[in-house]
């Protein structure tokens, strides 16, 4: 089955995801406005700056359409800033956008600010070999609700999880040539 994946293209690592999907032979399109979600099988919300991405989602009138896309059961993958946006994060103190797709609390910039960009390998539930993971001013997941499945931890902190049709990772799977996590996401759709 041929599938088409959208990459939310308002800010952040958009090009890198489009390139990675191309390498994997998957049709990928940029999503800038609500109509662009029509007919897609899944959506990636990339890393970048979660406050900026959230603001642009609101400005482009995308918020309601993202909620209906989620309710339709379409696959959604939030990486890094995208993870923050997918969370409920009830304790956050700003009016920054949280889409609430995964019942979890997050710690933004949880590994520290500038020094905390690093590369490591992770054991990832559902993937046989260790995955290469690049973290850039990444958040971690402080706690998850009962319906959330934890997929990976690093240094005792949760860094990947899924709930139904939504997958999140604190790292950037598009920035290495190890595409196992992207393939895991594509498998969720039934490639």
Q: Name the minimum Å distance from CB 191 to ligand GLN.
A: 25
From the candidates 17, 70, 80, 132, give the one annotated as an active-site residue.
Answer: 80
Q: Could you confirm whether 17 is annotated as catalytic?
A: no
By CB under 6 A, is residue 47 in contact with ligand GLN? Answer: yes
Size of residue set near ligand GLN by CB under 6 A: 11
Report long-range pairs for 105-110 (Cβ below 8 Å, ≥24 apart): 105/141, 105/142, 105/143, 106/139, 106/140, 106/141, 106/142, 107/139, 107/140, 107/141, 107/142, 108/50, 108/84, 108/139, 109/137, 109/138, 109/139, 110/138, 110/139, 110/140, 110/142, 110/157, 110/170
Q: Could you confirm whether 16 is annotated as catalytic?
A: no
By CB under 6 A, is residue 48 in contact with ligand GLN? Answer: yes
By CB under 6 A, is residue 108 in contact with ligand GLN? Answer: yes
Output phi, psi for 106, to 5 deg: -125, 155
Q: Could you confirm whether 172 is annotated as catalytic?
A: yes
By CB under 6 A, is residue 168 in contact with ligand GLN? Answer: no
Q: Which of 3, 34, 49, 103 binds ligand GLN (CB under 6 A)?
A: 49
Site residues, ligand GLN (CB under 6 A)? 47-50, 80-81, 84, 108-109, 136-137
Q: Which residues are catalytic?
A: 80, 172, 174
């Amino acid at each position: 089955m041929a599938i088409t994946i959208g990459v939310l293209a308002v800010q952040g690592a958009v090009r890198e995801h489009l390139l990675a999907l191309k390498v994997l032979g998957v049709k990928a399109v940029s999503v800038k406005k609500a109509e662009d979600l029509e007919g897609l099988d899944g959506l990636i919300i990339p890393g970048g700056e979660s406050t900026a991405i959230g603001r642009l989602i609101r400005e482009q009138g995308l918020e309601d359409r993202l909620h209906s896309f989620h309710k339709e059961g379409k696959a959604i993958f939030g990486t890094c800033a995208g993870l923050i946006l997918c969370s409920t994060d009830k304790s956050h103190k700003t009016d920054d956008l949280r889409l609430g797709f995964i019942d979890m609390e997050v710690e933004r910039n949880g590994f520290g600010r500038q020094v905390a960009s690093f590369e490591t390998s992770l054991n990832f539930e559902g993937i046989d070999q260790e995955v290469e993971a690049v973290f850039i001013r990444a958040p971690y997941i402080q706690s998850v609700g009962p319906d959330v499945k934890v997929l990976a931890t690093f240094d005792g902190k949760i860094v990947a999880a899924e709930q139904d049709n939504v997958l999140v990772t604190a790292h950037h799977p598009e920035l290495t040539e190890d595409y196992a996590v992207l393939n895991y996401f594509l498998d969720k759709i039934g490639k």
